[in-house]
Amino acid sequence: MPNTLRPLRSITAFEKAITESNEKVVLIFKHSNSCDLSTMALDEVTQHLEQASSLTIYYLITIQSEREVSNEVSERLCIPHATPQIILVRNGKALWSASHLKITRETLREAEATHTQTATVANT
């Protein structure tokens, strides 16, 4: 089954994602549909998903419609809000984040490889 960005539309869904981060790395992508830079980052994420790890669960927050969820993510994970923004989460904690032009297929691949490997070792 190909990797997809699952919409994160509620605080309850975010809580579920936090719980899932106890088993797998969770990637949260904050996207603004009114920002060209965010659209470019979304393209990088989408291309990354074509060859991405099945050890990661991928979520999308569209800030125009999920502002409350976006704010909760920033507050709970202690990561200042930005869009576009990627946050990798494991065991309920932010492991890594990137924003704006730092969101590329290459940085996603490297961060995911580093943190899914760490998560796999921790679970063995």
Q: Name 121's Cβ contacts closer than 8 Å, sequence gap at least 6.
A: none
Give the domains, in start order, of the chain with CATH numbers: 6-119 (3.40.30.10)
Angle in degrees, CA 34, 112, 65, rounded to 5: 25
pLDDT of residue 21 exceeding 70, the answer is: yes
Hey, what are 93's tokens? 């904690």
Rounded to a whole number of angstroms, the distance between the first and last alpha carbons of the chain is 25
Which is more confidently placed, 15 or 51? 15
Q: Hey, what amino acid is at 77?
A: L
Residue appearing with tokens 């991928």: 58
| pLDDT tens-digit series, residues 33-65 | 999 999 999 999 999 999 887 889 999 999 999
Q: What is the pLDDT of residue 97?
A: 97
Q: What sign does the dihedral 117-7-97-2 (CA atoms) show?
A: positive
Hey, what are 66's tokens? 């999920």
Q: How many CB atoms lie within 10 A of CB 122?
A: 9
Cis peptide before 80 (omega within 30 of 0): no
What span, in angstroms and rounded, lies between the C-alpha atoms of 99 and 88? 12
